[in-house]
Amino acid sequence: GQQTGWMTSMTDITEPNRIREQLSASYERFTTVLEALDASVSVAPLGSEELLFANKLYRLWFGSQTAGHLGLVAQAGVPTKPPTDESMDEVDSFVGLPTDALTSTRSENAEIFVPELGKWLEVRSRYLNWVDGRLAQMVIATDITPRRQAEEMSAAQAERAQSASRLITMGEMASSVAHELNQPLTAINNYCNGMVSRIKGKQINEEDLLKALEKTAHQAQRAGQIIQRIRSFVKRSEPNRTLSDVAEMVSEAVELAEIELRRRNVRLSHYVAARLPKVMVDPILIEQVLVNLMKNAAESIDHAQRPTARRSVELRVIPRQVDEQPVIEFSVLDSGAGLAPEVMDRLYEAFFSTKVEGMGIGLNLCRTIVESHQGRMQAENLMNGTEVVGCRFSFWIPLSHSSGLLPLAGAETKSPGVHA
Ligand SMILES: Nc1ncnc2c1ncn2[C@@H]1O[C@H](COP(=O)(O)OP(=O)(O)OP(=O)(O)O)[C@@H](O)[C@H]1O
Ligand SMILES: [Mg+2]
């Protein structure tokens, strides 16, 4: 054998080396990202105890066993969508860049509590084809305990705020009841004092005594009704309506207000349009509104220290149209000091009062009652040129369909019940 030549075999390994380096760099990036992720990531084949992949947080939470992975799947449920080739491709295409795939919204989400960890976890899972072609399930769990705690805290705060507002309503209710009870209690006191002095002076016969006693009993009964009506009204915020006679309500309210007006030396006249239809209202509550307005009117006149000739209040009740809807309008006009702009803005505020002995609950309750009857209330100054000569509080209540016919035009009565 003679050597005839050399056979050389040279392979260029630059390219495979570059690819290997790239692959290993890519793998390193991949694992670095997965390891640093503040979510636990695990992959296990379907129907097997084998754990194909687990990142650092998974190992920290669940150790190196598949139990944690299976527990999460069991608690969070599995994706209802069966894996399609398309969704597999999508997962595969993300291999180099796992973070996007991990937060992909295409996966199923569930929020579960894991007692062993004492944590709330948001769990997403999806199917993927493992490198060896097996169908596997990837589970990503994120700790959402801080978010959950914040949510629970704000829910608890909302609950506390709610009960605080219920307490305010209770406070207002108690004030309203106390406020409204003053009227019948004053009346009872008045009747009793009157009877005592007339009996002492031997100026009373049995018939008058009986009448006064009946009036006293009526006021006591009214006091009871007020408590009951305001209580149930505040509780349900729906008035207890009956078809009520306007003239009757007015005379009941006038009788109550008279005591206050007489004490302040204020005249009261009232005018009620004739043949007004009955209205669907809670008469006790509407009467209380009228009494409150007349009382405020008298107090304003007293406060303005008007001379005798200018100490009068007028109550007017007329039918009207508001937005083509028939209503009954009640207005109380006084010759008092009127309303300063800063008072006008706060009239209906609970506990706002410019009076030394005022509770500031009267108008607040009035407006609540009127609006619960689907009515509206308003206040305006009465002017004589540029001079404020008093004010007018008015409110209207819509006539419901059941309340009957509107009055005939021109048929009116005037009842100038004047008291000095
Ligand atoms: N007719 C009026 N003329 C002038 N100011 C009025 C009149 N009515 C109400 N006001 C003003 O509105 C405020 C609030 O009235 P509101 O009836 O709610 O409370 P109050 O009369 O002060 O106290 P209370 O709760 O005992 O009725 C009054 O303090 C007063 O300043
Ligand atoms: Mg008042």
Nearest CA among 294, 306, 319, 315 for reference residue 404 = 319
Res 128: pLDDT: 85
Residues 6 or more apart whose Cβ sits within 8 Å of residue 317: 246, 250, 270, 271, 272, 273, 276, 328, 329, 330, 331
For the chain, count helices (H), then strands (E).
11, 13
Domain 165-237 and domain 241-420 have a common topology: no
- The Cα–Cα gap between 264 and 36 comes to 83
- Whether 317 and 250 have beta carbons less than 8 Å apart is answered as yes
Q: What are phi and psi of 211, to 5 degrees?
A: -60, -45
pLDDT of 410 reads: 36
Distances in Å between the Cα of 235 and the Cα atoms of 59, 94, 182, 342, 375 are: 57, 60, 21, 32, 20
Ligand 1 within 6 A of CB of 390: no
Report the run of H or E that residue 366 belongs to, with start and end.
helix 362-372
Which atom of ligand 1 lies nearest, measured to the CA of 182?
26
Fold of 165-237: Helix Hairpins (1.10.287)
- Alpha-carbon torsion (352, 355, 361, 366), positive or negative: negative
Whole-angstrom distance, CA of residue 284 vs CA of residue 232: 12
Residue 360 Cβ inside 6 Å of ligand 1? The answer reads yes
The three-state secondary structure class of 315 is strand
In angstroms, the CA 264 to CA 112 distance is: 71
Query: Which ligand is nearest to the Cα of residue 298, counting in written order?
Result: 1
Contact 81, 106 (CB under 8 A): no
Minimum mean pLDDT range among 40-54, 62-76, 167-181, 280-294: 167-181
Write the pLDDT tens digit of every residue in 394-419.
Answer: 999 999 754 444 443 333 344 444 44
Q: Is a pLDDT exceeding 50 seen at residue 388? A: yes
Q: Max Cα separation, the chain? A: 166
Q: Which residues hold their Cβ within 5 A of ligand 2, which is an ion?
A: 296, 362
pLDDT at 202 over 80: yes
Domain spans in the chain, listed from the N-terminal domain onward = 18-143, 165-237, 241-420
- The answer to whether residue 253 scores a pLDDT higher than 90 is yes
For 142, the 3-state DSSP assignment is: strand
Which pLDDT band, with edges at 50, 70 and 90, does 170 fall under? low
pLDDT in tens, 314-360: 999 999 999 889 999 999 999 999 999 999 999 998 889 999 888 88
**How remote is the CA of residue 391 from the centroid of ligand 1, in Å?**
12
From the CA of 361, give the closest atom in ligand 1: 25
Q: Mark 376-392 as b/e (b = at least 16 C-beta within 10 Å).
A: bbebebeeeeeeebbbb
Among 203, 185, 182, which Cα is nearest to 194's?
203
The residue whose CA has the least distance to atom 8 of ligand 1 is 296
Per-residue pLDDT tens over the stretch 288-319: 999 999 999 999 999 999 999 999 999 999 99
260 pLDDT band (50/70/90 cuts)? confident
Q: For residue range 54-112, what is the model confidence (pLDDT) as tens digits? A: 989 999 999 988 989 988 888 887 654 555 555 555 444 444 444 444 444 445 688 88
Question: Can you give the length of the chain in residues?
Answer: 420
Q: Which neighbouring-strand residues pair with 168?
A: none
The reported pLDDT for the residue numbered 102 is 44
CA–CA separation, 239 and 242 (whole Å) = 9
362 lines ligand 1 (CB under 6 A): yes
CATH of domain 18-143: 3.30.450
User: Residues 30, 33, 35, 41: is their CA dihedral positive or negative?
Assistant: negative
| Rounded average pLDDT over 216-236 | 83
Bridge partners (DSSP) listed for residue 141: 40, 123
**Helix, strand or coil, per DSSP, at residue 28:** helix
For domain 241-420, which CATH number applies: 3.40.50.2000, 3.30.565.10, 3.20.20.70, 3.40.640.10? 3.30.565.10
| 365 CA closest ligand 1 atom index | 18
Quote the CA–CA distance of 352 and 337 in Å, as a whole number.
17
pLDDT of residue 166: 44
pLDDT band at residue 387 under the 50/70/90 scheme? very high
Cβ neighbours around 36 below 10 Å, total: 11
Q: What pLDDT score does 33 carry?
A: 82
Exposure pattern of 331-359 as b/e (b: 16+ CB <10 Å)?
bbbbbbbbbeeeeeeebbebebeeeeeeb
For all residues of the chain together, what is the average pLDDT?
83
**Close Cβ partners of 145 (under 8 Å, ≥ 6 residues apart):** 118, 119, 120
Cβ contact 113:76 at 8 Å? no
Counting ligands in written order, the one closest to the CA of 182 is: 1
Neighbours of 61 (CB within 10 A): 19
pLDDT of res. 162: 54
Distance, in Å, from the CA atom of 395 to the CA atom of 253, rounded to the nearest integer, reads: 15
- Determine if ligand 1 sits within 6 Å of the CB of residue 291: no
Q: Has residue 264 got a pLDDT over 70?
A: yes
State the number of CA atoms in the 13 A half-sphere of 62 facing the CB: 24
Q: Is the pLDDT at 10 greater than 90, yes or no? A: no
- Ordered DSSP codes for 226-255: HHHHHHHHHHHSS---EEE-HHHHHHHHHH
Helix, strand, or coil (residue 145): helix
Ligand 1 site, residue 334, Cβ cutoff 6 A: yes
